[in-house]
Every structure is written in C-alpha cells, then in structure tokens.
C-alpha cells in the first residue's frame, strides 16, 4: 500500500475554479464514506478549506486510486472531471509527507505562516476518525504534520506580523486601503474561527468602532462568540438582517460558508455612504456584479493573496528556515516509517522460520525417541542456527532497502516466496 494526495488548491487553480470546487461542511462525511467504498482506497482524510479541496489516502493501485478520487471529487463538487483534471495537485508516497508538512507549516497558504490551517487539518483528521476512515498510517501522518506546523511557528519568525486571514484582511481594510473606522459601524457575516479572529483584530485597533454586528445563521454559535469577545460594542443579528445592516456599515466582512451570496447587488445599491466589502468566502458570500456601484469597494481572497505577497519580502529568510524544518521532520518521519516497515516484515519472516523449525520437530518427533531431552534441544538449536544463518542476508537486505523502490520489490518478493 502507498500514500497519495489529490486536490485542487490556489497554487494550481483559479479562484473561480476553487469557488466551484468548494464542498460545504455538512457534505464532508459523505465524501469520506464514498472514498472508503472505493476498491483501491483503504484510509482517507478529506481536507476542505476556502483555498484547498484535497484527499489524502492510503491506496493500492496508483492509477486506480486517482480515478476513484477524481470521481468522488466530481460527485462532491458537481464538476465534470475534465473541468479540473488539468489543475489537480497530485503527490505520491514521499511527496505526500513533504506536501502535507509544508501545508501544516503555512508554507502553502495565501498568508504564509497563518495558523488557521492547523485547526483545519486537525478538524479533518478528527472527522475522519469519527467516520472510521482514518487508520494508523494516515493518523500518524497528520499528527506528525501538525506537530511540524507547531514547531515551525515556535522556532522561526514566519508567524511574525500578519499571520492569518483575519489579521491580513483587517490590515488591508484599515491600513493599505485607508478605511477610517473611527466611530463606524462594522458588519461581520459569520461567527466561526475566521470571523472571531477578524472581530478581535478590529476591536483591538486604536480606531474605536461605534458598533460591530455579527450576523450568523446559527444563533448559538454567535452567542458563544459574543461571550468570548466581552465588548459592549458588539451586537448580534441574523442573516435575514444583513440587507438592512449593509446599508448602515462602513466595513462589511463576509467570513461564512454559504451556497448562495447573502449580500446582493440590490442590497449594496441602497448604500448611501461608501462601504468596503471584504469577501473571504468561497463560494463567495457577496454578489460580484457591483463594479459600477459608486459607493462600493470590494476585495476578495484573490486581492488578499496579491497584497500579502507584496508585503512579505522581509520574511523570506524565515521561509527558508521553515522549509529546513519541514525537510528535517519529513526525513525523520520517513526514517521511522522505513524502520517500522522493515521491522514488520523481518518479524514475520523470523516467525515463519521459527514455525518451520517447530513444525518439523513435531512432525519428526517419533524419529527422535532415542534422544534425551538435552539431545533434542541440541538438535532444535542446530536447526534454529542454520535457519538463522539462511535468514540473515534476506533480513539485512530488507532493512537496508526499506523505504525505497527496491525495498518495496524485495518486500513483495519475500511475501510471495514465503507466503507471508
């Protein structure tokens, strides 16, 4: 069996394709069950973020698994395979560890070093565990990747400054775009981790807001965030209130997962003052047909990616340090995997030889009646010694080649030759 990752991400696909490839959270369990029903897939984790839709799996046949994962992604997203086949990011065996460890380290994020990805990977693994699609191999892979992500953030400066979508979006709105929020009304659509981060960043800025309203589909989630913020400027609303609130706001930040936009062109056309829309949703939570509206300025994840990239020149050295940590941890992980893989088959081979000795001694017991117990033990010891010498070279070869293509071939040949 082998590891594979197949996905659509912002490095290889347009924002439009990413938006169309988004799988809403209530569908994730269904995707996992579909993956495990496939012939070549034995373990699977499904990672879905605003800029990444990806499957990491333990498989049998490479091409068969690619076809099965592509088919599952097609069913989950409603896209034809031909629409995303040329934009897939595919990694195999060693490449899977390098890729996932880099993702966890924040090296493949729009905002390098951002910490939200660690929570997203942890949630993906937890769901796979709940659905019983994550076995020991893929569980260790994700746990080691998450550990590397934490190590990168503690040992390098990659997390210095703007380290999240929340901080980056607030920075753009209030600094780079010159939005004055002193005494302003702000609307945040959503109440999840991203929305909470945005709210905290806004409330902590020197410019004192008049009011920050959180509009969310689920009132219990919004109430929880309200309790965490503990600020008398914060109010709650529902998604049905958004149309009215938009017309009163100076800044609107959409950080919510919805199938259809919750802010329409008609809502924005009623705005009497200038309003900045920051749409961090995929699919987009704000209608995009607003270019001719005088009072509306809009930025989305694509703009965020471009602006953050321009502002990170002083962290290039930290990127190299982070990559070195990733490379080091990947080597440690693969070395541990090789050692375990070699130990397993060597153990099976030795057990097989021990069984051969025991079986033959039992089968020929009647022929040894004239021997004393001590003499019998000497015969058995001699047999074990001969077998151990025969097994020595195959054992050494298996250990030395573990984790390589040759090691895979030797392991398969050993299993076939000795019926392990």
- Catalytic (active-site) positions: 50
Tell me the C-alpha distance between 99 and 6, whole Å: 11
The helix, strand and coil proportions of the chain, stated in percent and rounded to the nearest 5, come to 60, 15, 30
Q: What is the DSSP letter of 209?
A: P
Q: Which residues contact 388 (CB under 8 A, 6 or more apart)?
A: 353
Q: What single-letter DSSP state applies at residue 192?
A: S
**Alpha carbon distance 372, 410 (integer Å):** 41
Specify whether the CB–CB gap between 222 and 190 falls below 8 A.
Answer: no
Residue 76: other Cβ atoms inside 10 A: 22
Peptide bond into 283 cis (omega under 30): yes
Nearest-angstrom CA–CA distance, 210 and 224:
21
Enter the DSSP assignment of 299. Answer: E
As a whole number of Å, the end-to-end CA separation of the chain is: 15
Report the alpha-carbon distance of residue 66 to residue 126 in Å, rounded.
24
Strand pairing category for 211-215 and 234-237: parallel
DSSP-assigned letters across all residues of 210-243: SEEEEE-S-HHHHHHHHHHH--TTEEEE-GGGHH
CA–CA separation, 28 vs 26, rounded Å?
6
DSSP 176: I
DSSP state string for 373-417: HHHHHHHHHHHHHHHHHHHHHHHHHHHHHTTSHHHHHHHHHHHHH
Encoded tokens for 214:
């959180």
79 burial level (CB within 10 Å; 0-12, 13-18, 19+): middle
> If DSSP codes are grouped into helix, strand and coil, which group holds residue 58?
strand
Kindly tell me the sign of the dihedral angle through the C-alpha atoms of 340, 341, 342, 346. Answer: positive
């Amino acid at each position: 069996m082998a590891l594979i990752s197949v996905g659509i991400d912002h490095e290889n696909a347009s924002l439009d394709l990413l938006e169309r490839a988004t799988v809403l959270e209530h569908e994730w369990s269904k995707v996992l069950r579909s993956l495990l029903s496939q012939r070549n897939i034995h373990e699977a984790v499904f990672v879905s973020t605003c800029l990444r839709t990806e499957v990491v799996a333990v498989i049998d046949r490479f091409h068969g698994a690619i076809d099965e994962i592509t088919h599952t992604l097609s069913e989950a997203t409603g896209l034809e395979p031909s629409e995303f086949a040329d934009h897939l990011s595919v990694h195999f065996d060693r490449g899977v560890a390098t890729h996932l460890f880099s993702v966890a380290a924040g090296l493949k994020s729009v905002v390098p070093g951002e910490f939200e990805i660690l929570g997203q990977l942890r949630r993906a693994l937890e769901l796979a565990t709940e659905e019983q699609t994550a076995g020991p191999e893929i569980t260790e892979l994700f746990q080691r990747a998450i550990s590397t992500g934490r190590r990168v953030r503690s040992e390098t400066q990659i997390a210095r400054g703007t380290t999240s979508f929340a901080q980056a979006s607030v920075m753009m709105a209030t600094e780079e775009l010159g939005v004055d929020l002193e005494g302003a009304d702000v609307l945040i659509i959503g109440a999840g981790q991203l929305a909470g981060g945005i709210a905290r960043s806004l409330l902590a800025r020197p410019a004192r807001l008049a009011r920050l309203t959180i509009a969310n589909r689920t009132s219990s989630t919004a109430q929880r965030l309200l309790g965490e913020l503990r600020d008398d400027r914060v109010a709650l609303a529902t998604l049905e209130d958004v149309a009215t609130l938009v017309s009163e706001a100076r800044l609107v930040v959409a950080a919510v997962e919805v199938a259809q936009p919750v802010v329409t062109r008609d809502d924005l056309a009623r705005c009497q003052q200038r309003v900045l829309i920051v749409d961090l949703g995929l699919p987009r939570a704000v209608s995009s047909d607003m270019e001719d509206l005088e009072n509306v300025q809009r930025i989305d994840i694509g703009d965020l990616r471009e602006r953050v990239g321009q502002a990170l020149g002083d962290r290039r050295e930290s990127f190299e340090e982070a990559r070195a940590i990733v490379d080091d941890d990947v080597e440690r992980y693969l070395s541990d995997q090789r050692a375990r893989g070699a130990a397993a088959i060597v153990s099976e081979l030795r057990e097989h030889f021990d069984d051969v000795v025991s079986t033959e001694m039992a089968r020929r017991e009647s022929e040894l009646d004239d021997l004393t117990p001590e003499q019998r033990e000497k015969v058995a010891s001699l047999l074990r010694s001969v077998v151990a010498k025969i097994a020595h070279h195959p054992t050494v070869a298996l250990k030395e080649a573990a984790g390589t293509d040759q090691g895979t071939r030797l392991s398969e040949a050993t299993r076939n030759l000795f019926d392990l």
